[in-house]
Homo-oligomer: A and B are copies of this chain.
Amino acid sequence: MDGNRQIVINELPNGPLREDNFRLIEGTIPQPRAGEVLCRNILVSLDPVNRIWLEPGPAYRTEHPGMTLDDAGDGAPAEGGPGLDPAVSRRAQPLRDIRKVLRPGDVMDAFTLSEVVDSNRTDLPEGLVVACVAGWQEYAAVPAAWARPIDVRASLTHHIGVLGISGLTAYFGLRHVARPQAGETVVVSSAAGAVGTIVGQLAKLVGARVVGLTRSDAKNRLLERELGFDAAVNYRSPTFAQDVATACPDGVDVFYDNVGGSVLATMLEAMNDHGRVTCCGVVSQYDGTPAVGLANVPLVLCVKRLRVEGMTVTDFVDLWPQAEREMAEWIAAGRLKALEEVTEGLETAPRGLIGLLAGENIGKRTVRVGPDPLATPAP
């Protein structure tokens, strides 16, 4: 092994993310300490939540002393991976699991699929493929508790996408939080993204009418033609609210929201009584755009008795294996399609994330950083 190419944070963004917020460096391959294994990254996942990790002062911060983001910092190692320590006090580290404070000089963090290449643990043997949070680099020393062995059922790009964080997020946010019934109408925003494409298809599998929201007519046609969405609406249209009403003649029972802001405000008005909203993400305000205040909250919630609920996939970690198995079966049976965009080389990550935040992607966007050990003979 030679050096360890890494992309570090050059400067935290002050507005939309730019390529010069990062720089590529030639680091050294770390020596795993006690309790760690050395991982070589295969695939790096690009996710909207990555942008939050670069934001020292998000819009929802207030002066409340118990809840500032700084509480989650302290230079402690990043958390949030599958092995999140349940013993960590919820109160002491309230934002820890999905908010990691990154600082200039830090390696950019990311979910990864990685191969164990140096280990003295029998439960994590060399050659094993694991899901972890090993960042934008070739090698990382990772706490053993954060490396989750993958039961390989499909291509590794599937395991970092539809069977990874984004697919599991779709699964639990829809089936365990919103809980649509057959015959109900489900609307999903960022519908052409890694989460949205899966949410829509899972909602079809439960027998719901499914309507996608994107800001692109071309994406919308793709959702209707390729993924079986019943309709799709462009949320940048001046007639957006009317278009939703037309696409949802029986109103909206479930809204799976990845966007927030004015899209959420409009959708709350479109909900039926007793509707359920999964708040999965707020991509409208991740990349330097000021938050839109929702003046219709909480009045519209009271009037329509809506349930609006935030979710994070790590809360369902005990149920991941069963969900992975179920989705792998649907994929094998052709009932669930995974749209993927894989770029080659660590250096494509910054451009890829910037484009993701601008809504360029269709489906899951991943960066291939190293060879797939399942596709080539082991050394």
Which A residues lie at the B interface, using CB under 8 A? 58-67, 90-91, 94-95, 98-99, 241-242, 244-245, 250-251, 257, 260, 264-266, 268-270, 272-274, 279-282, 285, 290-312, 315
Contacts and interface: CB of A to CB of B under 8 A. Distances in A.
A250 B251 CA distance: 40
A293 B242 CA distance: 23
A180 B67 CA distance: 21
Given A65-B245, A302-B310, 4 more contacts: A61-B269, A62-B241, A64-B241, A291-B296
Contacts of A309: 301, 305-309
A304 B270 contact: no
Contacts of A290: 295
Given A91-B272, A94-B273, A308-B309, A296 B62 contact: yes
A90 B305 CA distance: 12
Contact of A294 (B90, B281, B297, B310): B297
A72 to B, nearest CB: 10
A265 B310 contact: no
A63 B308 contact: no
A309 B245 CA distance: 23
A298 B269 contact: no
B302 A285 contact: no
Nearest to A290: B295
Nearest to A271: B67
A82 B99 CA distance: 46
A58 B302 CA distance: 13
A297 B299 contact: no
A64 B292 CA distance: 19
Nearest to A65: B245
B281 A302 contact: yes
Contact of A293 (B67, B273, B293, B312): B293
Contacts of A268: 60
A237 to B, nearest CB: 13
Contacts of A250: 91
Contacts of A58: 299
Given A60-B295, A65-B241, A94-B273, A279 B302 contact: yes
A150 to B, nearest CB: 25
